[in-house]
Amino acid sequence: MDKFYSTLESDFIVGEPQAAAILHDANATLEFEVESLLKKDSLQITDEDRAMILERVSRDPNRLIVLTHGTDTMITTAKLLTQVRGKTIVLTGAMQPAAFKTTDAYFNLGGAIIAVQTLPEGVYLVMNGQVFDPNNARKIVEENRFTEMD
């Protein structure tokens, strides 16, 4: 969701979180705060990074949490977060970053915001207009979407 093309580096890099700008542009009236935990491509996230995410989410005083995450390893992080009790946690991302003309970032973040407010305690993925159990989800790279496992 947060990637953009850097002409200086001639590569895609992870930039500042886009969630606050997206919610502001959408005139969202709910209270929220945005905290950046990592600025990494999800393929670069390590077990130590995931442990930090787990620890941060576990001690966060908020019961409702939305995490934006790269789609390549979102499921792995979500499965680890199933250890957290007493919270509703929704992970979402974008197949095409928010900076792109054609992006699913806005749609997915909006879905995640609604999902976190309405789903019971647990960990979920919201992508492509659907809510997924991370233990029963997979990414289909060729189709740019997530689906339930067969």
Give the domain CATH number at 45.
3.40.50.1170
Question: Residue 64's beta-bridge partner residues?
Answer: 88
Per-residue pLDDT of the chain (150 residues; tens, 9 = 90+): 665 555 666 666 676 777 877 778 787 878 888 788 888 878 889 999 999 999 999 999 999 999 999 888 999 999 999 999 999 999 998 887 566 677 788 899 999 999 999 999 999 999 999 999 999 999 998 998 899 987
Query: Which pTM value belongs to this model?
Result: 0.83
Q: How many domains does the chain have?
A: 1
Beta strand 88-92 pairing with 64-68: parallel
Predicted confidence at residue 13, as pLDDT, reads: 63
Predicted confidence at residue 21, as pLDDT, reads: 77
- The parent domain of residue 79 ranges over 3-148
Predicted confidence at residue 135, as pLDDT, reads: 95
Predicted confidence at residue 118, as pLDDT, reads: 97
Residue 78 near residue 139 (C-beta atoms within 8 A): no
Which residue matches tokens 């689906």? 147
